[in-house]
Amino acid sequence: MDAYIICATPRTGSTLLCDLLSSTRVAGEPDSFFMRDPDPVWAARWRLPDRRAAVEPQGAAAFLAAAGQAGRGQTGIFGARLMQEDRDDLMAMARVAYPGQPSDLARIRAAFGRVLFIHLTRVDKLAQAVSLVRAEQSGLWHIAPDGSELERLAPPQPPQYDFARIEAARIDLARRDGDWCDWFDREGIRPLRLEYADLSSDPAGSVGQIFGALGLRTPDPRSLRSGVARLSDGMSAEWIARYRSDAARAR
């Protein structure tokens, strides 16, 4: 394999997985190169050209080439994270860059070579929804192992339990996962499937599965590093229990 793309939805552990893979120093430097509106600091770090130029073939090809270089780093493998909401934009860009290719899969292969698709999911959609709502409300998306903030997207606000918002998030996250599955079926892709619970409980095992599919030698588990820690705590458990009680009463 020449490349891999982590196909994910929010709060599935994709940042953890990207960190682990980057720490091996042989499997690329995966990140969200194709997000619709990246932080200018990140775009500059990845040396991405102006995305507005990607509406014509030369600009689209240049953007994909720059993303490819950023995702390889100093290794021979390209890695990227692709969220469901960004997939259509990437495929539109690939259609502009490679108009002669017959499918999304063919265009991605034209850009990045032989690609392993990794479907990273979270079976417990309620826990995923609670995690997402808390992040959106509090503005805090990631913390470091020492508890310090890594990524904050809004000023601090105390999260408040909201049954309707959690329910809407749960339904939407299930829809997004279903959309990934529909796309895999349409393109004839058999992804490597990884689950959040397995990744969080046995990160070395998940990395080993990816390395096996890529044809790489499994790294020493002691060499794996991640700069993020879990945010789930007693409040998440309380919200989950409260949601289940409210849902039971609503039936």
- Of 44-58, 67-81, 114-128, 129-143, which range is least confident? 129-143
Q: Provide the pLDDT for residue 104.
A: 98
Q: How many whole angstroms separate alpha carbon 210 and alpha carbon 187?
A: 21
Instruction: Give residue for tokens 């002691």.
Output: 222
For residue 222, the model assigns a pLDDT of 83
Which range, 129-133, 143-147, 148-152, is most confident?
129-133
Decide which of 178 and 156 is more confident: 178
Check whether 196 has a pLDDT greater than 60: yes
Per-residue three-class SS string for 93-141: HHHHHCCCCCCHHHHHHHHHCCEEEEEEECCCHHHHHHHHHHHHHHCEE
pLDDT of residue 142: 67
Sign of CA dihedral 128, 134, 136, 141: negative
Cβ contacts of residue 227 below 8 Å, gap of 6+? 19, 144, 145, 150
Q: Kindly report each contact of residues 210-214 with a partner whose C-beta sits within 8 Å and lies 24 or more positions away, as own/partner.
A: 210/4, 210/21, 210/27, 210/116, 210/118, 211/24, 211/27, 213/1, 213/4, 213/116, 214/1, 214/4, 214/27, 214/77, 214/116
pLDDT at 1: 85
Position 188 pLDDT exceeds 60: yes
Check residue 182 and give its pLDDT: 98
Residue that is written with structure tokens 């034209």 in the block: 110
Specify the fold of 3-250: Rossmann fold (3.40.50)
User: Cβ contacts of residue 182 below 8 Å, gap of 6+?
Assistant: none
Q: Report the pLDDT value the prediction gives residue 232, as an integer from 0 to 100.
A: 65
Give the model's confidence band at 225: pLDDT under 50 very low, under 70 low, under 90 confident, else very high: confident
Cα–Cα distance for residue pair 226/235, rounded to 1 Å? 24
Residue 230 has pLDDT above 80, yes or no: no
* Per-residue confidence (pLDDT) for residue 201, from 0 to 100: 93
Residue 150: pLDDT over 60: no
pLDDT tens across 58-90, in order?
999 999 999 999 999 999 999 999 999 999 999
What's the whole-model pTM score?
0.93
Tell me the two tokens of residue 115.
Answer: 């690609």
Spans of all domains in the chain: 3-250
